[in-house]
A and B are shown apart, each in its own frame.
Chain A
């Protein structure tokens, strides 16, 4: 029984192919991961959960930021006119807009066009709309403004002047919403970094404990290595590499799971309103440098965990 276990623990070709130091590092690290696979899976799982948390926040905030960028690039000013605005009043507003270079890109939306646009975007609400006796939408001008103009002080004065033009009922600038969304996206990024960071530190300590346990189980081999004159780097190499592999597996698992969630979320988007929300939050997957950074984060957490346990394992402290 014991013999069978020993043979199972040893890799089949270990006796046939002598190894150099680096081959020994890789062989030993992989062998230990396999032999203590349950313990290793806990460490890998911890890393994956930490990075999945961070990755989810990054994914959502990234998509939010992208959406904000899109809107910010084409910030819109809506100039709503009185529902019964006369053609002369409409012409007066058009003339005002044409005179101002920052408002010169505009499109007139008649009451009928607004009605059709609403029906198109909110198809589910069409029955409600059909019950109305008259068209509730006012005519409007949709003005494209640049984010630079929208943020400037003279623009505020210009809007104040526009609000008092004859026939204008209300002026709405979506810039404030954009800024608010940007703040939310930034808060999400920070929350993700903090939560992911805390979990990553916890995962690193889990890896440290796993490595510590492995070192305890291998203490006799470590003693033999020290007594025959192995350098500390040779003794520590496989343990460091073990942490490296655990971190890398955790990172890859997190990215894989995140991609699964991303695909699942997109597949779940069925109705028009949920499609809008899902498209908003899950329009694109993480860019590959961010995905690589997540894997690298896992590797760093793994190495950090190994380093913590190895730091405590000098010959003096081992007795």
Chain B
């Protein structure tokens, strides 16, 4: 699903964000990308979305070599990836429904399907009753759930998230993590950048550890404290 082969990313002569990074994530896998601030986590996510191109090495996502991806193919490639950000990136002047409808519009989803799809994804994140609210009227956790709903709207095969719980307290983080795990259980590959060690420990998924732009030791999958089931995840969240 995701293959990095000896990827180096230099921004200038003295600023090397990634150095000879090689890692792999299987289809349907849930992988944490971790490391201290400035380790290169966000750079990896930007490379996967092809917001950046590597200085050296090759990146293959879902069988596509990103170096050979033409600019015109980029929108279609990105439509298959759901992206979630730490700062939610919701449009504040739009209601929750409008935020989702806006994305569906630019993706070319017929307008008659907008309400149905918006309701379905918001139901999945348990926010179907807040369709007409504006983002600032929601809590941080709710806003992040809307952002995840937006990422899920096109049924992506890959979800990448950049510190999605970075602005949330532990309880809200658990809610958000539950949604990622549910999406993963439905078949989406999830690559989640975080430095929340407690979250990683409890979730017990594979970790790719970055340190100063290099991949450190890949920790083997630990037995999760929580079973891989959405229904029991909530119990874990309330611990």
Contacts and interface: CB of A to CB of B under 8 A. Distances in A.
Interface residues of A, number: 29
A23 interface: yes
A224 B104 CA distance: 12
Contacts of B214: none
B111 A20 contact: yes
A45 B114 CA distance: 39
B94 interface: yes
Given A19-B105, A228-B150, A229-B106, 13 more contacts: A10-B93, A10-B94, A10-B95, A15-B98, A18-B101, A21-B106, A220-B91, A223-B89, A226-B78, A227-B83, A228-B107, A230-B107, A235-B106
A20 B94 contact: no
B107 to A, nearest CB: 6
A34 to B, nearest CB: 13
B105 A229 contact: no
Interface string B43-73: 0000001010000000000000000000000
Contacts of A69: none
A120 to B, nearest CB: 71
A18 B49 contact: no
B105 A24 contact: yes
A256 to B, nearest CB: 33
Nearest to B132: A15
The A interface, classified by DSSP as helix, strand, loop or mixed, is: helix
Contact of A18 (B89, B93, B104, B150): B104
Interface stretch (A1-9, A240-248, A283-291): A1-9
Contacts of B154: 228-229
Nearest to B115: A18
A3 B92 CA distance: 9
B89 A315 contact: no
B220 interface: no
Contacts of B80: 229
Given A2-B136, A228-B83, A230-B75, A15 B95 contact: yes
14 contacts: A6-B92, A6-B93, A10-B94, A14-B94, A17-B111, A18-B104, A19-B111, A20-B111, A227-B49, A228-B83, A228-B103, A228-B107, A229-B75, A235-B106
Interface string B121-134: 00000000000101
A225 B106 contact: yes
A161 interface: no
Contact of B134 (A3, A23, A224): A3
Contact of B97 (A15, A19, A24): A15
A283 B81 CA distance: 66
A313 interface: no
Nearest to A234: B106
Question: Closest 8 A-B residue pairs measured CB to CB?
Answer: A229-B79, A18-B114, A229-B78, A230-B106, A18-B111, A229-B75, A6-B93, A231-B75
Contacts of B114: 18
Interface residues of B, number: 38
A221 interface: yes
Contacts of B134: 3, 6
Contact of A20 (B75, B103, B105, B132): B105
A15 B136 CA distance: 17
Contact of B79 (A2, A17, A20, A228): A228
B105 A224 contact: no
Nearest to B114: A18
B76 interface: yes
B5 interface: no
Q: Which of B102, B111, B136 has the most CB of A within 10 A?
A: B102
Contacts of A19: 101, 105, 111
Contacts of A220: 89, 91
Nearest to B103: A228
Contacts of A18: 101, 104-105, 111-112, 114-115
Contact of B91 (A3, A224, A231, A232): A224
A212 B182 CA distance: 42
Max count, chain A CB within 10 A of own CB: residue among B98, B110, B137: B98
A143 B133 CA distance: 86
Nearest to B112: A18
Contacts of B137: 3
A33 B89 CA distance: 24
Nearest to B151: A228
Contacts of B108: 21
Contacts of B98: 10, 14-15
B150 A315 contact: no
Contact of A229 (B76, B95, B97, B110): B76
B191 to A, nearest CB: 15
Nearest to B49: A227
Contacts of B97: 15
Nearest to A225: B106
Nearest to A227: B83
A14 to B, nearest CB: 6
